[in-house]
Amino acid sequence: MRIIICLFAGVLLFSSCKSVDAYNASITEKKPVKDLQNDVDYAYSKLKKLHPHLYQYTPKDSLDQAFENLKASIVQPMTPEEFYKKLAPVVTKVGQGHLSTSRP
């Protein structure tokens, strides 16, 4: 019985290491420019759809311009971490403390 438990624990350990390797590979892989620009559009469309007072502290035209500038600044592939560092300040412009983005 002890051997079976040790075998099971070993298989579980090695399979979890494999998923960590896959995750690490995915966050270091550079994403294409078009995909990143689509992600900017997606994030802004979700904010517009789901946020009840999106333009309470920042006018709509100002926020529209910030997201357009973000899209225009993406001219080469980048990692999710690099993309996060560009997206987070734009989302912060909404000006509401309960809204945030998460690191990849």
Buried b (16+ CB within 10 A) or exposed e, 38-72: ebbeebbeeeeeeeeebeeebeeeebeebbeebbe
Return mean pLDDT, the chain. Answer: 88
**Segments making up each domain of the chain, as ranges:** 1-28, 31-104
How far is the C-alpha of 53 from the C-alpha of 48, rounded, in Å? 9
Q: How confident is the model at residue 7 (pLDDT cuts 50, 70, 90)?
A: low
First-to-final CA distance of the chain: 41
> What would the pLDDT profile of 57-102 be if each residue is shown by its tens digit?
999 999 999 999 999 999 999 999 999 999 999 999 999 888 888 8
Query: Any idea how long the chain is?
Result: 104
> What would the pLDDT profile of 19-59 be if each residue is shown by its tens digit?
667 777 778 899 999 999 999 999 999 999 999 999 999 99
Rounded to two decimals, the pTM is: 0.78
Res 76: pLDDT: 98
